[in-house]
A = this chain, B = another copy of it.
Amino acid sequence: MMIETLAWTSSGVRFIDQTKLPTEESYVTCTTHEQVADVIRNMVVRGAPAIGVAAAMGIALGVTNSRAESPGALEREFEEICATMGETRPTAVNLFWAIRRMQKKFRSLSGVPLAQVQQALVDEARQMHAEDIAINRAMGREGAALMPVAGGVLTHCNAGALATCGYGTALGVVRAAIEQGKNLHVYADETRPFLQGSRLTAWELVKDGIPTTVISDNMSGAIMRQGKIKAVIVGADRIAANGDVANKIGTYTVAILAREHGIPFYVAAPLSTVDPDTTDGARIPIEQRNPAEVTHIAGRPMTPAGVQVENPAFDVTPATLVTAIVTERGIARPPYRESLSKLLAGEGQSSVSATLKAK
């Protein structure tokens, strides 16, 4: 079953509305780049890889809408569009990676007529979409061997088809392991405050017929102590050069619990999530979101007036708690500064290219 998280269509960029799942499967089509920026900000689309491709498509859309009459005007407009996309969410580095890739493409088109620039940017964004799925498939192939032959695998937040252009990063590894015949049962932390686990991970896994149990975030320790969890696998929003991992708030707690119970803790992320310019996790900007996400659920107040609230969207898991990082070019093990930089410097993995060529 293919979930189409986001797609370039003849009428605009179409997103499945992740704020409405699991009770309503509805779609939003954006016709301007400002609308794309809004759906990223409001988490209609979320997940680091999906945000990156959404931003690229937003840029392509903005340039397609351009009526610039000179190369200079187009360039100014292009940079404004990129700036708008870059101001949506600060933590996921894939956003900035995608913007840089579109900027590089744009610069390569100097002197080319507007219509061709527009088409080339649309093609680039669509190519990134196709690559993302191929990368996830490659990560699945690389990471499946890490999964247990049978048993429970805990995941936090949603690092699935809905967080990417399809198949998923962490859930891609789970899917690949199941395709290889492994007998996995996914435990999904509900992941307050946005409930990506109960609303999104559960929705896409149930759709795929993968056995899934939803638990409140504060149950994971007790479930691990009962011996039900054989491995943890999560996605990432930014991986620092030293292997520190920024991911959905609560990931750090899960990593500590995993170590306490002798359970391996894996991160699955494309190399576009690795940020060699961020030396360690302390330097990753952590987005603070609207307190209303904590104080209200389904529009209803769950806290008294006058109470304070914190709502960091992410936390940083130190590299020392990470057993391995699965990427499309292979598995990084500690020390990560070395293993990640080798993978970053490496050639594009043949299996990704092969998958793309076969399409």
- Name A's B-contacting residues (CB within 8 A): 22-23, 156, 189-193, 195, 198-199, 202-203, 205-207, 211-223, 225, 249-250, 252-253, 256-257, 260, 294-295, 297-312, 315-316
How far, in angstroms, from A223 to B315 measured CA to CA in the complex? 9
Chain B residues closer than 8 Å to A199, beta-carbon distance: 302-303
Q: Is the CB of A294 within 8 A of B192?
A: no
Given contacts A192-B192, A221-B256, A308-B211, contact A216 B301 (CB under 8 A): no
B315 near A213 (CB under 8 angstroms)? no
Count of chain copies: 2
Measured in the bound complex, the distance between the Cα atoms of B220 and A257 in whole Å is 13
Cα of A73 to Cα of B212 in the assembled complex, Å: 52
Q: Which of A305, A306, A307 has the most CB of B within 10 A?
A: A307
Within the complex, which residue of B218, B222, B295 is in contact with A217, where a contact is CB–CB below 8 Å?
Answer: B218
Whether A198 lies near B22 (C-beta < 8 A) is no
Q: Would A315 and B222 be within 8 Å (CB), given that A192-B192, A298-B300, A304-B203 are in contact?
A: yes
B198 touches A312 (CB 8 A): no
Partner of A250, one of B191, B221, B312: B221
Q: Which of B213, B222, B250 contacts A216 (CB 8 A)?
A: B250
Q: How far is the CA of A199 from the CA of B212 in the complex (A)?
A: 29
A302 touches B198 (CB 8 A): yes
Closest 3 CB pairs of A and B: A218-B250, A221-B253, A222-B315
Contact A309–B214 (Cβ < 8 Å): yes
Complex: A220 Cα to B205 Cα, angstroms: 28
A205 to B252, CA, bound (A): 28
Q: Which B residues touch A211, using CB under 8 A? A: 308
- For A252, give the chain B residue with the smallest CB separation: B221
CA distance A214 to B294 in the complex (A): 8
